[in-house]
Structure 1
Amino acid sequence: MNRKTLLITFVLAGFLTACAMRRSEPAKQKMFEPATSQIANGEKIFMAKCQKCHPGGEAGLGIGLNPVPAPKFLKRFQIRHGLGVMPAFKKEEITRQELHDITSYMSAWKHY
């Protein structure tokens, strides 16, 4: 084996070993703490209305919401009118203020 092949093999083995070791460690996550009462209310409403299909903003029954780069007004439109299998949430279910709180929570969680 020449030096270049040996070096590449060594680096690749080290990388793969490091990845395997990381998977065996428990995930260390700090708790999300809402910075404002609006975000805290958005979290409460999200957990009650959205969490069952979008757990933690990740994919579940519905798509993952965290990586979606859509602006807040489009997300509010989606929540209010639904699309595909996602139900529409009428004003009686989620008020206008709660709708804004949910998108503020989603934005805060995304940047957490």
Structure 2
Amino acid sequence: MNKKLLAVIFGAALMLAACGGAKEETTTTKTGTTTETATVNAEKIVNSKCISCHGGNLEGQGNFPALNNVGSRLSENEILNVIENGRGGMPGGLVTGEEAKEVAAWLAAKK
């Protein structure tokens, strides 16, 4: 029994660790100076944080609306507001900061 509980806890910890940090870093070298820029991969964030409720193709599931055409219903700012503050059964703050802005822009383009 204890081994099963330990396995469940360990598995949950691995899943939570996999969901964090969706930033990618690239390094550009120019005449000996290294400049690092962080880019946000909105699709990767959506795949890690949204598909469990909204479906693998963002087609919607049960009470969760489709996101594959959300840009035809909501503006980028409205989508950002839902991401930050939640709406209905969706809690706010699943994605924050610059990542939330990038996800909102990416979803707004889905029409």
TM class, shorter-length: 0.5 to 0.7
Cα RMSD, aligned residues only? 2.2
Moved >6 Å (runs of 4+): none
Percent same amino acid among aligned pairs? 30
For structure 2, the residue ranges without an aligned partner over 5 or more in a row are 1-37
Q: Aligned to 2:44, what secondary structure does the other structure show? A: helix
Distance 1:88 1:95, change over 3 A: closer
TM-score (norm. length: structure 2): 0.53
Q: How many positions carry a matched residue from both structures?
A: 70
Q: Aligned to 1:53, what secondary structure does the other structure show?
A: helix
Distance in 2, matches of 1:75 and 1:105, equals: 10
- Name the structure 2 match of 1:73: 77
Cα distance in 1 for partners of 2:75, 2:108 equals: 9
Q: How does 1:16-95 map to 2 (within 5 A)?
A: 41-55=41-55, 56-61=57-62, 62-68=64-70, 69-89=73-93, 93-95=94-96
Structure 1 spans left out of the alignment, 5+ residues:
1-36
Q: Which residue of structure 2 aligns with residue 107 of structure 1?
A: 108
1:68-94 Cα offsets, whole Å, 9 max, x none, are 3210100110111111111111xxx52
Larger radius of gyration: 1
User: d(CA) in 1 for partners of 2:105 and 2:75?
Assistant: 11
Say which structure, 1 or 2, has more relative contact order (CA 8 Å, 6+ apart): 1
User: How big is the shift at 1:96?
Assistant: 1.5
The whole-number CA distance in structure 1 between the counterparts of 2:98 and 2:61 is: 26
Q: Which residue of 2 aligns with 1:27?
A: none
